[in-house]
Structure 1
Amino acid sequence: MSDAKAKPVDKMSFEEALAELEGIVRQLEAGEVELEKSIAIYERGAALKAHCDARLKSAELKVEQIVQGAGGPTTEPASFD
């Protein structure tokens, strides 16, 4: 994705951000990118990683709220005989 047409990170879905991040990693690992472009895509990669982390944390909190709202975990309480 070219820098001029790059979608703002905060407007991306988790899947879009992850796919772009994977592409950036491939480019950097190949080592065929000029230094200046490497720095620019590394910065974008850092922003994408932070976005993915935030989206995962948000999803985790939602699942936690669903579990708590449904009466808590489905494990049986310990028996105190």
Structure 2
Amino acid sequence: MSEIEKLSFEEAMRELEATVGKLETGEATLEESIALYERGAALRKHCEARLREAEERVEKITLAANGDPAGTEPAEGL
């Protein structure tokens, strides 16, 4: 498991926002900018995957006849 994969969604989003902020200042060298961009792309991919996982879990919540949550079904692949 990579360092990024170990981050929670919130941690990855904070780091992604900081990375974008550094890129927007324009103060990084070309090499630093490339490294920041690559890390940002990996963080974005991680965040998207975590969101997909959360959406799948929410979709698996089962409802009772009265509309109250009655439990969950295991999501495929989790």
- TM-score class normalised by the smaller sequence: 0.7 to 0.9
Which letter does structure 2 place at the counterpart of 1:70? L
Q: Does 1:15 align with 2:10?
A: yes
Q: Does 1:70 align with 2:63?
A: yes
With CA pairs under 8 Å and 6+ residues apart, which has the higher RCO, 1 or 2? 1
Q: Does 1:25 align with 2:6?
A: no
Q: Identify which of 36, 40, 52 aligns with 2:31.
A: 36
Aligned CA RMSD, in angstroms, stands at 1.6
- State which structure, 1 or 2, has the greater radius of gyration over its C-alpha atoms: 1
TM-score, length-scaled by structure 1: 0.75
State the percentage of identical aligned residues: 55
Q: Counterparts of 2:58 and 2:64 in 1: how far apart (Å)?
A: 13
Structure with the higher helix share, 1 or 2: 1
Which letter does structure 2 place at the counterpart of 1:44? R
Q: Partner of 1:57 in structure 2?
A: 52
Report the count of equivalent residues: 65
How many Å apart are 1:70 and its aligned residue? 1.5
**Structure 1: gaps (5+ residues):** 1-6, 75-81
TM-score, length-scaled by structure 2: 0.77
Q: Deviations over 1:16-67 (max 9, x none)?
A: 000000000000011000110110111000000000000001000100001x
**Structure 2: gaps (5+ residues):** 68-78
